[in-house]
Amino acid sequence: MIKITQESYKIFTKHLCTFIIPKNKEYKEKGYNIGITKGNKLIIKYQKHKYIVEFVKENDNVYWKLTPYQNSYFTTLVCEGSFDMVLRAIEENEIIIHNIHDKFLENN
């Protein structure tokens, strides 16, 4: 994947202003704390874990890239409603983390 370009930065800014910032209160009520870095990455804190969401371009498409996600990463095409898919992936990752932790405690 190729890092963000000036053109994709415009898409990122539009998506941020149109879909994410207006729903920030709703996201906070669900337990998400969303910030932005100088490198135009989103930092999402959820249930004491920190996630990084980058904006990447591949083959003329722009994607949200979430790390860490199940010891890997998760991507989804940037479009209306796609950021909610990223947040759902974080919820799923948290369930996996808790299940692994619970199994570890049962076995020790």
Model pLDDT for residues 23-41, shown as the tens digit of each residue = 999 999 999 999 988 777 8
- Give whole-number Cα distances, 77 to 11, 35, 74, 100, 106, in Å: 12, 21, 11, 29, 39
- Residue pLDDT, tens place only, 9-25: 788 888 889 999 999 99
Q: Please list, in sequence order, all residues whose beta carbon lies within 8 angstroms of the beta carbon of residue 30, skipping any fewer than 6 positions away.
A: 87
> What pLDDT, on a 0 to 100 scale, did the predictor assign at position 7?
74
Q: Where are the domains of the chain?
A: 6-107
Please tell me whether the peptide bond between 68 and the residue prior to it is cis, using omega within 30 degrees of 0: yes
Pairing of strands 61-69, 42-46: unpaired
Please check the confidence at residue 8 and state whether its pLDDT lies above 80: no
Residue 38 vs residue 44, higher pLDDT = 44
Positions of E strands within 70-107: 72-77
